[in-house]
C-alpha cells in the first residue's frame, strides 16, 4: 500500500515539475507584473493625493489674496500653482479667481492671460468653457472681435450654449450687425429657462434693437382665450 502511495506521489511530483518547467517563468513574470502594477497604482494614488493637498494649500493662499483685493499676490500664487500643479482642479479654479481680482483692479491684460491659460489647460470641460466665456467678454471689451469669435467657437458644452449664443449676439452688435445680433439674442432667450434671471438681461438687449418681448403671462392668457 505504501509503495502504491509512493508511486502516486512521485507521479504527481513529476507532473508538477513538468508543469512548472513549462509555465513557471510565465507565472513568475505574471506575478511580478501584477505586483508592479499594484505598486504603481498605489504610488500614483499617493502622488495624486499629495499633489491635491499641496495645491489646496496654495489655493487657500490665493483665495485670501482675492478676498483682500491683492491682485499682484493672487497673480503670483496662481503662476506658482499652475507651474507646480497644472493638472489639479485647483489650478483651474485659481485661474478664474485670479482673473476676477486682476480685472477688478484694472489689469485686464493679466486677467485675459489667466483666463487664456484655463481655456487651454484646465482638465475639466466645465472650467475651460467658463474661462472661454469670460475671456470672450474681456476680448469684446478690448475690441478684439476676431479673437473673441474664435474663443466662442471653442465652447462645446451644451450647458453653456445659451450663454455662448448671447455673447455671440454681443459680438455682432459691437461689429455693427444688428440683424445677426438680434437673431442670436432670440436664440439665447428661447434656450434659457423661464425662471432664469439672466433672461431679462437678454430681453433688455433685444429692446435696444427694437424687439419688444411679449409679457409671457399676458401671452399665455391671450392664448387661452
Instruction: Grade residue 4 by pLDDT with cuts at 50, 70 and 90.
Output: low
Domain boundary residue among 117, 144, 171? 144
What's residue 46's pLDDT? 55
What's residue 153's pLDDT? 96
Closest CA to 190 of 210, 170, 216, 171: 216
Q: Which domain holds residue 79?
A: 50-144
Cβ of 100: how many Cβ atoms within 10 Å? 17
What's residue 218's pLDDT? 35
How large is the C-alpha radius of gyration of the chain?
31
pTM over 0.75: no
Residue 186, judged by CB atoms within 10 A of its CB (0-12, 13-18, 19+), counts as middle
Instruction: Grade residue 73 by pLDDT with cuts at 50, 70 and 90.
Output: very high
Query: Is residue 79 in a domain?
Result: yes
Torsion sign over Cα 8, 10, 14, 16: positive
Tally of structural domains, the chain? 2
Domain boundary residue among 119, 144, 169? 144
Query: Is residue 209 in a domain?
Result: yes
Amino acid at each position: 500500500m505504501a509503495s502504491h502511495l509512493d508511486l502516486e506521489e512521485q507521479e504527481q511530483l513529476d507532473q508538477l515539475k513538468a508543469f512548472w518547467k513549462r509555465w513557471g517563468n510565465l507565472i513568475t513574470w505574471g506575478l511580478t507584473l501584477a505586483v508592479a502594477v499594484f505598486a504603481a497604482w498605489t504610488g500614483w494614488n499617493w502622488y495624486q493625493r499629495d499633489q491635491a493637498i499641496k495645491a489646496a494649500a496654495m489655493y487657500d493662499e490665493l483665495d485670501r489674496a482675492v478676498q483682500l483685493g491683492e491682485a499682484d499676490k493672487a497673480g503670483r500664487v496662481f503662476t506658482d500653482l499652475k507651474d507646480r500643479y497644472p493638472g489639479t482642479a485647483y489650478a483651474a479654479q485659481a485661474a478664474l479667481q485670479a482673473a476676477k481680482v486682476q480685472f477688478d483692479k484694472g489689469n485686464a491684460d493679466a486677467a485675459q492671460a489667466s483666463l487664456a491659460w484655463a481655456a487651454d489647460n484646465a482638465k475639466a470641460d466645465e472650467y475651460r468653457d467658463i474661462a472661454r466665456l469670460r475671456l470672450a467678454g474681456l476680448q469684446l471689451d478690448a475690441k478684439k472681435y476676431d479673437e473673441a469669435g474664435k474663443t466662442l467657437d471653442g465652447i462645446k458644452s451644451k450647458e453653456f450654449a445659451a450663454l455662448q449664443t448671447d455673447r455671440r449676439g454681443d459680438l455682432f452688435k459691437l461689429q455693427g450687425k444688428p440683424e445677426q445680433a438680434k437673431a442670436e439674442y432670440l436664440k439665447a432667450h428661447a434656450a434659457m429657462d423661464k425662471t432664469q434671471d439672466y433672461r431679462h438681461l437678454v430681453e433688455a438687449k433685444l429692446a435696444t434693437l427694437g424687439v419688444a418681448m411679449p409679457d409671457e403671462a399676458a401671452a399665455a392668457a391671450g392664448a387661452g382665450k
